[in-house]
Amino acid sequence: MITIAIAKGRMQDEALALLARADIRFNGHSAISRCLISTDQTGEYRAIFVKPADVPVYVEHGIADCGIVGHDVLLESEADVLWPLDLGIARCRLVVAGMSPGQIKSKGMLRVATKYPQLTSEYFGSRGTPVEIIRLSGSVELAPSLGLCDVIVDLVETGRTLQENGLSVIDVITESTGRFVVNRASYQLKAHNIARLLNALEQVASGVSA
């Protein structure tokens, strides 16, 4: 049996739809279900539903053979897993956003609130901008207007939440899509099954981006 860790939240529905197109169906499962584990009708695959940041953890430890998670989460986690396939789902951008575009330059020290401290420090570090990073775990868009920080680094899909909080995009750090990741040991020990799943997903995923 192959265990697939799937990131809960915005990734989950698109991931399940993609798997279904590859004929892997986890019955009775939806975003509102509280069930965290489900087996497909053939008994060949098992899905576990965990928080996005935990997907690389489960996969790196080999508890899950593979996983579906955003590229942003992978870069932030630095987990040692394989990234053989871009699924092209849940496309979004990781951006720097603030009340006014000039803010990055005018400060001697920028205060940045984010859920992505690692990527944020890499981004500002490579530009030589001194920053103080404030780690938050949600509703990051609120932070500038309340005076916690000057700018935020966050994921943006449509940009509506930013607008509603009086923020605009200052710079795009990277694009992010759902990635299929594989545990290093499973890649070798279950080579045949993983390769089959990879092929099936590659075919339906190329249909998505085309």
Q: Which residues bind another protein (CB under 8 A)?
A: 57, 60-63, 77, 79-86, 182-185, 187-189, 191
The span from the CA of 60 to the CA of 67, in Å, is: 10
Give 75 or 140: the residue with its C-beta nearer to another protein. 75
Of 130, 131, 154, nearest to 142 (Cα)? 154
Residue closer to another protein by CB (options 2, 182) is 182
State in angstroms the smallest separation of the CB of 180 from another protein: 10
For the bound state, the minimum distance from the C-beta of residue 84 to another protein, rounded and expressed in Å, comes to 4
What is the rounded distance in angstroms from the CA atom of residue 155 to the CA atom of residue 178? 13
CB of 154 to another protein, least distance (A): 22
CB 81 to another protein: min, Å: 8
Best CA proximity match to 173, nearest among 105, 122, 99, 98: 122
Name which of 96 and 194 has its Cβ closer to another protein.
194
**Residue partners of 102: CB distance under 8 A and separation at least 6:** none
* Alpha carbons 205 and 184: distance in angstroms, whole number: 22
Cβ proximity to another protein: between 87 and 162 the closer is: 87
- Where b means 16+ CB within 10 Å and e means fewer, 68-103 reads bbbbbbbbbbebebeebbbbbbbbbbbbbbbeeeeb
Closer by beta carbon to another protein, 29 or else 71: 71
* Least CB distance to another protein at residue 119 (A): 16
